[in-house]
């Protein structure tokens, strides 16, 4: 065919089909000559900027035919659209995707764009796959009847998609011949698509397809063996996924039956129902998926409840083989990131929503030689052999749980001792670990587990036997006498299983085995207690507190020898069938390794080995829970928060409130008396350290304190809210408006003719002889009684409410919602879920979050998952975030008479999951950018707010993320980077756009250092900084915990050294110290959101670590403190206040509040532990913000130490914690944060030494 002009075809492919293309083009050239010139590009390489944009666009522009396999928005779609603008050529989209992608199709006179023009914003975001199939069917039928014009081209489109859908070399070859004939003018022959059934069984070793389950079972399965179902792709992804399936079958089939089922990747439920069930009953004992996205509906999304119902019926562990269809194995090996952002969403996050567990990467891409035919590397998927071994090993051990008798199962329960020492055994967030242990052991006994004889007082046993990590008061000889001994020779056998590189790393950090931590007489000590077949042990310390100098080191230290010995002893020597980590949280999941997609070189993978891992985790903390799931293969069993109550007023605060009430009454009846009372109020307030306020402001402050929601003590695993605890919880849940469900308080307020929002904002104002605050208190009392009666009957609640008919409908809806929440609480099955997991069954998945803020997280006992990251920020979160931005700017402006040029914000995964992205909304608010969701809620777009509408300059923002945010929200980071780039590129004056101003300043500095102008532009616009890849927090907490610092500059430098890593497009945690310092030098305001009812800023060390550390870093760089503002979004109305006010509220409502103290001290040992923690956090805030006033330290000393009754209670509860608290008070004085009187110091020192003497006895 000499003289024939070749048809130039450019292909942009998502899947690894390069070998099929190469072979197909080779065969075509052998048959027809050089009739096709092909250029192949991979979507993931364009996303990662590995392809020259100009070359890519030029290839598209000069092509005759463009074949596009793009699944969503992003760089590939943007570049393709730019290249195709004003081009008249054949463009064929190969798969369904977003309407924007499909609308690119142009084949003769046909374009599907009009099909999607009127599509409304969809919860799916993609075009519904059922709709696509209906359209395809209709076009095929009509095209057959009328094979000309647009219908002919439409039918051709369907045919091309069918070639692609079923793929394989033969279909790829005929696809190329078909389009070359129809749209390239080539005179060639082609065959119709070869189509296989949409679902079936395919065994790669037999190379045989089955459509009959009975035939397959008869020929291949032993009914005496357990069976493992494998779900993988047919069609276009068949070649990519079957390699992993084949490798896994190799590892499994000698011990189990395998049922490898392929599906089209969309209607997977049909395949599961057809081949994993027989006669309506499950026939598989475990399943593993090689499929991306949620099980039902693929990327298009389906009804999730159908999936959850089916998986609950199946009731087996369902594993996630997390295939890397768009990442090279070599790149994954070298990367600390692990999965790419696309794979993190598609292969990990979305499968988690269905309850899939243990995302171990099973396969990835492998580059073969460069192909001249394709103009690209040939890429094939290949199994990752040692990861396949890990998946197989873990599946087999889960199967063991399903088949072994309970009386024979060996269960290890791991509790924590962090920081190490006698005062912190069994430490966990809001969980009474020892009481929970009692409950778990008793339940195991009832389930016929061998738990030994008798009952233990766990705290006394561990402490009396010296079974603590690096005890200060327990001699090592006592510990060695009672601990389990691992001879160094045995340990070295296990240690040798680590790679040479990792062994070298451990030895360099900790010395040769056995090292100095928890070692004795050339052996390693495992502190723990054996109860029959149950072992209760202490997770080893990280080693920093034993070696305070390491507080300055990289947080990503390898585990020390005893840490390794602990987990290897459990697996290799003791033979644990399952490991339970009890409480939030341990440290194994934070060990050095990839962010997600563990390799054999990641410590969490090595330490957990093949032991099934169950993790009892606080429902309120889904961000850190995700790390446990992904990095330590945990199946989560979430637990409830402790009961909640109102802070109320106490002691002299009650007297102050009475004085103010008397003042308001006198104002109406006897103004002269009111004037005499007023100075008494001010004086009493001053005594209580409420200074510089009017009577009205003092009343508002008291009202806020009184009404604050606080936790009451700790949760005991398996317990449910009863009686008053249940009523108070529902009272707090029903305080808030939730769409159509109105706040109960609002309804009652309306019935009294009171504007609820106004009353909340102005509680001091008078209404018919009472303050609005008093009326709100009465409303709350009334609401409580209505809820109490409604638990028996909504009608009873309506009757006692006695409100007018126009409000009755709202009230009925609200009370019915309250009953629904109560039923979810009753359905909580924490202990049952733990037992189910130990039986090797499915644990039902559900959202995690604050149960008051988002009650849909109930019932507990679920396998926590995160809120869908594609929906961040939600519309409500964006609006609330903008409100936070405006409130902080107003507060700054009111004080300084101008706007800040730059604001630094703390952006946590912890907050983002629960608020749905309030801080993200806040950042966009500062920038003057809004979120628009056109046609899709999954793919938000950014739209600039004109300066005139904004009414102020665009404020620059430095975003300080934690590692959890980085791991959980890669798409959100991409969105924020896009926003910064957009705003920096605007043609606006510098005094109206501080992002642009600072970016240009930075650009002028960087361009002198870097030759790559594109990189300089990226870095000058970059505003997201955080821990380096694989790390999660800062070194700052270690310094505070160990007291190993001298100056506040050291604290600032510890923060900067941990956070000076930049995140921008295709820049993942690269150190950029100079840039970070330059950007921080512009910061004048630091802001963070408080989002959770359990945690005031004084209740969590991460607040002083991030907010405080950032504030101190800015101060250290600028030589001047920034404004420091906390925005509390846990209340009905957002409240922004200075950090000192936030600290004081936390101290008054909790640490100094008898109600909170009594709630804690109900819990033996743990109560004192939690109180001592809060004192340590105060020291952290003092060091980082200098906003912990001296009176707070005096009051802590007075209430806990100098008060003899309280001191005795603390001493009986946890004398080691009391000693630690006294030490912190002395440290606060020594560092100048507490100006203690000599009398206070003498008394404190005397009591400290007396207690120390007792501890030494």
- Whether residue 262 sits in one domain with residue 137: no
User: Cα(283)–Cα(256) distance, rounded to whole angstroms?
Assistant: 12
Average pLDDT over residues 279-306: 89
pLDDT of residue 115: 62
pLDDT of residue 99: 76
- Whether residue 1178 sits in one domain with residue 1049: no
- Whether residue 169 sits in one domain with residue 281: no
Which residues contact residue 87 at a Cβ distance below 8 angstroms, ignoring those fewer than 6 apart?
Answer: 60, 61
- Residue 525: which pLDDT band, with cuts at 50, 70 and 90? very high
| Residue 525: closest CA among 420, 601, 609 | 420
Least confident of 128-142, 402-416, 665-679: 128-142
- Whether residue 1253 sits in one domain with residue 1211: yes
Which residues contact residue 519 at a Cβ distance below 8 angstroms, ignoring those fewer than 6 apart?
Answer: 525, 561, 562
**Which of 796, 827, 858 delimits the end of a domain?**
827
| Residue 526: closest CA among 602, 603, 465, 616 | 465
pLDDT of residue 124: 45
pLDDT of residue 125: 45
- Whether residue 263 sits in one domain with residue 174: no
Asked whether residue 855 is domain-assigned, the answer is no
User: Cα(576)–Cα(838) distance, rounded to whole angstroms?
Assistant: 12
Asked whether residue 68 is domain-assigned, the answer is yes
- Whether residue 204 sits in one domain with residue 322: yes
* 3 state SS of 927: helix
Long-range pairs for 83-88 at CB < 8 Å and ≥24 separation?
Answer: 83/56, 83/57, 83/58, 84/60, 87/60, 87/61
The pLDDT > 90 percentage for the chain reads 82
| Dihedral of the alpha carbons of 539, 542, 547, 548, in degrees to the nearest 10 | -120
Q: What is the pLDDT of residues 430-485, one digit of tens each?
A: 999 999 999 999 999 999 999 998 788 999 999 999 999 988 888 888 999 999 99
pLDDT of residue 725: 97
| Residue 972: closest CA among 1042, 934, 919, 1018 | 919
Phi and psi at residue 24, to the nearest 5°: -65, -45
595, 1029 Cβ separation under 8 angstroms:
yes
* 3 state SS of 1079: helix
> What is the total count of domains within the chain?
7
Task: Dig out the tokens for 81 from the structure.
Answer: 């659209």
- Whether residue 257 sits in one domain with residue 173: no
Query: Higher confidence at residue 550 or residue 975?
Result: 975
Supply the mean pLDDT for the chain.
93
Asked whether residue 835 is domain-assigned, the answer is no
Whether 248 shows a pLDDT value over 90: the answer reads: yes
In angstroms and rounded to an integer, the radius of gyration of the C-alpha atoms of the chain is 32
pLDDT of residue 126: 46
User: Cα(522)–Cα(503) distance, rounded to whole angstroms?
Assistant: 19
Whether 123 shows a pLDDT value over 50: the answer reads: no
Asked whether residue 850 is domain-assigned, the answer is no
Whether 109 shows a pLDDT value over 90: the answer reads: no
pLDDT of residue 643: 98
pLDDT of residue 14: 83
CA angle 575/578/584 to nearest 5° reads 130
**Which of 157, 184, 211 delimits the end of a domain?**
184
Asked whether residue 672 is domain-assigned, the answer is yes
State which residues form the domain around 259. 200-394
CA angle 293/297/301 to nearest 5° reads 70
User: Cα(655)–Cα(988) distance, rounded to whole angstroms?
Assistant: 57
Using a 10 angstrom Cβ sphere, with 0-12 exposed, 13-18 middle and 19 or more buried, the burial of residue 809 is exposed
| CATH code of the domain containing 263 | 3.40.50
| Residue 811: closest CA among 747, 750, 855, 753 | 747
pLDDT of residue 128: 52
pLDDT of residue 673: 92
Asked whether residue 997 is domain-assigned, the answer is no
* 3 state SS of 369: strand
Q: What is the pLDDT of residues 675-694, one digit of tens each?
A: 999 999 999 999 999 987 89
- Whether residue 285 sits in one domain with residue 157: no
Sheet holding 534-538, edge to edge: 528-531, 534-538, 411-415, 578-582, 613-618, 634-639
564, 506 Cβ separation under 8 angstroms:
yes
Exposure string of 614-628, with b = 16+ CB inside 10 Å and e = fewer, is bbbbbbbbbbbbbbb
pLDDT of residue 547: 84
User: Cα(358)–Cα(537) distance, rounded to whole angstroms?
Assistant: 24
Q: What is the pLDDT of residues 931-986, one digit of tens each?
A: 998 766 667 889 999 999 999 999 999 999 999 999 999 999 999 999 999 999 99
Q: What is the pLDDT of residues 753-777, one digit of tens each?
A: 999 999 999 999 988 888 999 999 9
Which residue has 């929200």 as its token pair?
Answer: 969
pTM of the full structure? 0.94
Asked whether residue 1023 is domain-assigned, the answer is yes
| Dihedral of the alpha carbons of 421, 423, 426, 427, in degrees to the nearest 10 | -100
- Whether residue 510 sits in one domain with residue 557: yes
Average pLDDT over residues 859-882: 94
Whether 1210 shows a pLDDT value over 80: the answer reads: yes
Least confident of 49-53, 574-578, 635-639, 850-854: 49-53
Interhelix angle 772-790/794-801, rounded to 10 degrees, is 150
Asked whether residue 495 is domain-assigned, the answer is yes
* 3 state SS of 74: coil
- Whether residue 1184 sits in one domain with residue 1126: no
- Whether residue 799 sits in one domain with residue 784: yes
* 3 state SS of 201: strand
Whether 197 shows a pLDDT value over 50: the answer reads: yes
CA angle 526/527/528 to nearest 5° reads 110
User: Cα(795)–Cα(736) distance, rounded to whole angstroms?
Assistant: 22
217, 232 Cβ separation under 8 angstroms:
no
- Residue 372: which pLDDT band, with cuts at 50, 70 and 90? confident
pLDDT of residue 137: 66
pLDDT of residue 377: 85
Q: What is the pLDDT of residues 713-745, one digit of tens each?
A: 999 999 999 999 999 999 999 999 999 999 999
- Whether residue 341 sits in one domain with residue 207: yes
């Amino acid at each position: 065919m000499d003289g024939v002009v070749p048809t130039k075809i450019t292909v942009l492919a998502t899947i690894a089909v390069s070998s099929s293309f190469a072979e197909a083009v080779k065969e075509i050239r052998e048959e027809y000559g050089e009739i096709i010139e092909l250029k192949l590009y991979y979507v993931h390489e364009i996303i990662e900027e590995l392809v020259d944009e100009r070359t890519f666009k030029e290839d598209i522009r000069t092509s005759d035919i463009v074949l596009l396999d793009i699944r969503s928005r992003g760089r590939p779609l943007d570049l393709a659209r730019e290249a195709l603008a004003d081009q008249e050529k054949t463009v064929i989209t190969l798969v369904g995707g977003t309407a924007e992608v499909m609308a690119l199709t142009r084949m003769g006179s046909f374009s599907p764009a009009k099909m999607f023009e009127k599509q409304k914003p969809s919860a799916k975001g993609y075009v519904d796959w059922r709709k696509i199939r209906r359209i395809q069917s209709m076009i095929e039928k009509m095209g057959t009847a009328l094979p000309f014009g647009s219908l002919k081209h439409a039918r051709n489109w369907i045919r091309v998609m069918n070639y692609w859908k079923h793929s394989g070399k033969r279909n790829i070859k005929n696809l190329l011949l078909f389009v070359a004939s129809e749209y390239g003018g080539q005179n060639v022959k082609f065959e119709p698509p070869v189509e296989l059934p949409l679902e079936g069984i395919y065994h790669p070793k037999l190379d045989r397809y089955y459509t009959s389950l009975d035939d397959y079972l008869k020929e291949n399965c032993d009914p005496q063996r357990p069976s493992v179902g494998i779900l993988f792709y047919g069609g276009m992804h068949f070649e990519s996924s079957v390699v992993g399936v084949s490798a896994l079958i190799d590892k499994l089939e000698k011990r189990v039956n395998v049922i490898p089922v392929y599906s089209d990747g969309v209607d997977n439920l049909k395949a599961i129902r057809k081949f994993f069930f027989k006669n309506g009953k499950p026939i598989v004992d475990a399943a593993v998926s090689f499929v991306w996205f949620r099980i039902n509906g693929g990327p298009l999304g389906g009804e999730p409840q159908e999936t959850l119902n089916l998986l609950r019926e199946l009731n087996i562990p369902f594993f996630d083989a997390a295939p890397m269809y768009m990442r090279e194995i070599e790149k994954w090996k070298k990367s600390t990131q692990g999965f790419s952002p696309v794979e993190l969403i598609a292969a990990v996050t979305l499968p988690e929503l269905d309850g899939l567990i243990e995302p171990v990467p099973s396969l990835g891409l492998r580059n073969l030689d460069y192909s001249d035919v394709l103009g690209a590397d040939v890429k094939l998927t290949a199994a990752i052999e040692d990861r396949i071994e890990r998946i197989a090993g873990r599946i087999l051990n889960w199967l063991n749980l399903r088949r072994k008798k309970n009386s024979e199962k060996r269960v290890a329960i791991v509790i924590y001792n962090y920081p190490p020492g006698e005062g912190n055994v069994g430490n966990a967030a809001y969980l009474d670990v020892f009481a929970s242990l009692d409950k778990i052991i008793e339940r195991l006994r009832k389930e016929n587990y061998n738990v030994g004889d008798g009952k233990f007082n766990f705290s006394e046993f561990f402490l009396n036997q010296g079974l603590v990590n690096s005890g200060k008061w327990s001699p090592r000889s006592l510990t060695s006498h009672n601990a389990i001994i691992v001879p160094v020779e045995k340990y070295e056998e296990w240690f040798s299983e680590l790679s040479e590189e990792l062994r070298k790393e451990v030895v360099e950090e900790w010395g040769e085995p056995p090292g100095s931590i928890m070692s004795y007489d050339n052996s390693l000590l495992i502190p723990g207690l054996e109860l029959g077949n149950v072992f209760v042990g202490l997770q080893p310390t990280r080693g920093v507190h034993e070696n305070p100098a390491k507080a300055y080191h990289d947080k990503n230290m390898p585990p020390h020898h005893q840490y390794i010995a602990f987990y290897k002893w459990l697996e290799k020597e003791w033979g644990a069938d399952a490991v339970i980590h009890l409480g939030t949280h341990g440290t194994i999941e934070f060990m050095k390794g990839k962010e997600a997609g563990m390799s054999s070189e990641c410590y969490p993978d090595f330490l957990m080995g093949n032991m099934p891992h169950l993790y009892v985790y606080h429902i309120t903390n889904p961000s850190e829970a995700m790390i446990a799931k992904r990095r330590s293969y945990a199946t989560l069993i979430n637990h409830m928060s402790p009961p909640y109550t109102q802070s109320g007023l106490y002691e002299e605060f009650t007297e102050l409130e009475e004085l103010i009430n008397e003042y308001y009454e006198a104002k109406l009846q006897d103004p002269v008396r009111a004037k005499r009372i007023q100075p008494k109020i001010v004086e009493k307030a001053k005594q209580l350290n409420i200074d510089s306020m009017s009577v009205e402001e003092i009343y508002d402050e008291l009202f806020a304190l009184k009404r604050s929601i606080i936790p009451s003590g700790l949760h005991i695993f398996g317990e449910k809210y009863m009686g008053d605890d249940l009523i108070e919880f529902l009272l707090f849940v029903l305080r808030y408006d939730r769409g159509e469900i109105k706040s109960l308080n609002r309804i009652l307020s309306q019935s009294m003719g009171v504007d609820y929002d106004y009353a909340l904002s102005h509680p001091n104002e008078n209404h018919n002889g009472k303050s609005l605050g008093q009326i709100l208190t009465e409303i709350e009392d009334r609401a409580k009684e209505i809820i109490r009666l409604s638990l028996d009957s909504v009608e009873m609640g309506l009757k006692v409410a006695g409100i007018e008919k126009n409000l009755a409908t709202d009230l009925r809806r609200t009370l019915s919602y309250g009953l629904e929440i109560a039923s979810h609480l009753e359905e909580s099955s924490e202990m049952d879920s733990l037992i189910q997991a130990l039986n090797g069954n499915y644990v039902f998945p559900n959202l995690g979050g604050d149960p008051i803020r988002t009650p849909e997280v109930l019932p507990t006992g679920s396998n926590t998952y995160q809120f869908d990251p594609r929906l961040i920020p939600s519309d409500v979160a964006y609006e609330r975030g903008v409100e936070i931005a405006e409130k902080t700017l107003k507060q700054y402006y009111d004080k300084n008479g101008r706007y800040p040029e730059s604001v630094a914000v703390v952006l946590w995964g912890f907050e983002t999951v629960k608020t749905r992205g309030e801080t993200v909304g806040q950042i966009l608010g500062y920038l003057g950018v809004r979120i628009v969701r056109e046609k899709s809620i999954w793919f938000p777009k950014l739209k600039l707010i004109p300066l005139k509408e904004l009414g102020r300059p665009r404020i620059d923002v430095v975003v300080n993320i934690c590692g959890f945010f980085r791991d959980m929200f890669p798409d959100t980071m991409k969105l924020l980077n896009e926003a910064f780039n957009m705003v920096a590129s605007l043609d606006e004056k510098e005094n109206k756009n501080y992002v642009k101003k600072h970016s240009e300043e930075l650009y002028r500095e960087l361009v002198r250092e870097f030759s790559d102008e594109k990189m300089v532009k990226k870095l000058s616009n970059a505003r997201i900084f955080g821990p380096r890849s694989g790390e999660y927090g800062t070194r700052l907490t270690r310094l505070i915990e160990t007291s190993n610092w001298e100056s506040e500059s050291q604290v600032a430098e510890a923060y900067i050294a941990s956070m000076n890593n930049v995140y921008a497009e295709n820049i993942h945690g690269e150190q950029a110290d100079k840039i970070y310092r330059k950007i921080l030098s512009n910061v004048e305001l630091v802001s963070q959101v408080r989002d959770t009812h359990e945690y005031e800023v004084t209740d969590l060390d991460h607040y002083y670590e991030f907010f405080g550390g950032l504030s101190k870093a800015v101060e250290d760089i600028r030589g001047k403190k920034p404004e420091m503002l906390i925005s509390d979004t846990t209340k009905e109305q957002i409240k922004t206040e200075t950090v000192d006010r936030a600290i004081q509220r936390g101290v008054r409502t909790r640490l100094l509040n008898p109600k909170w103290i009594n709630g804690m001290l109900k819990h033996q040992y743990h109560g004192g532990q939690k109180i001592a923690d809060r004192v340590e956090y105060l020291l952290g805030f003092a060091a980082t913000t200098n906003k912990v006033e001296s009176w707070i330290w005096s009051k802590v000393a007075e209430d806990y130490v100098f008060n003899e009754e309280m001191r005795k209670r603390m001493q009986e509860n946890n004398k080691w914690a009391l000693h630690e608290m006294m030490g912190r008070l002395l440290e606060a004085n020594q560092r100048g944060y507490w100006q203690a009187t000599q009398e206070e110091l003498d008394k404190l020192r005397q009591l400290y030494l007396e207690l120390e003497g007792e501890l030494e006895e």
